[in-house]
Amino acid sequence: MGHKIFISYKYGDTSVEHLERTPWYESTKVRHYVDELQDKLEDDDLINKGELDGEDLSNFKDSTVESKLRNKIFDSSITIVLISPNMKELNKSEDDQWIPWEVSYSLRETTRNDRTSRRNGILAVVLPDINGRYDYMLEPKRCCQSGCMLWHTNKLFKVLRANMFNQIEKTHSICNIGDNVYRGYVSYIHMVRWDSFINNVSFWINEVKKIQDKKDEYDIHVNVTD
């Protein structure tokens, strides 16, 4: 595949569908989905993992956060964000949670030792909830004859939703019931279901690279609280 991948995820979220790799008496965590993805890739060295279990960001200064993320993300070209129902801790500011910072650093172009890292391509992969459903985030609708998908971006971290539907010149059409439906990749951070992604990882990585190559067509927001 040839791409170094950084994975951003909420390690201990158990609000996801049970995986066969998890014993029946244990709860599946998002971390188990990372293992599933790693098994799909040809080379384990391609993967840099995100948050450590129980690691609390609120006690760190910005400089410490930067040092922890810089080396992992600087040398990657693709970031995959695993979306899970309880990835946001509602009792914490977004500034004090890892995923927003990991996305923010992935979107930055940073120079170190005369080398500038390219802005990562980013794919948001929606995991099935505990009942195996995706409609908490990606909800099929009947707005057109061919159907469409409603993205519940209001449930996401600010830096994620700021980089969705952010193509400067969007392609769209009006359906027969009057809904506005976008065509193509109108989001720099595209969203896809886990089952679609895991069954065709190489395809989706290549699609993200295509979006990345057209980054100038998007209004990119890099700050955590945009």
DSSP 136-180: TTEEEE-SSTT-EEEE-GGGS-HHHHTTSS-BSS-EEEE-TTS-E
Residue 56 is predicted with a pLDDT of 53
CA atoms of 60 and 57, how far apart (whole Å): 5
* Amino acid 61: pLDDT: 54
Question: Is there a contact between 86 and 129 (Cβ–Cβ < 8 Å)?
Answer: no
Return the pLDDT at 111. 65
**Distance separating alpha carbons of residues 40 and 162, to the nearest angstrom:** 30
Q: Which residues of the chain have pLDDT under 50?
A: none
H or E element, residue 105 = helix 98-107
Contact (CB, 8 A) for 159 and 189: no
The structural domains of the chain, with segments of one domain joined by +, span 3-132+151-168+185-217
Q: Does domain 3-132+151-168+185-217 correspond to CATH entry 3.40.50.450? A: yes
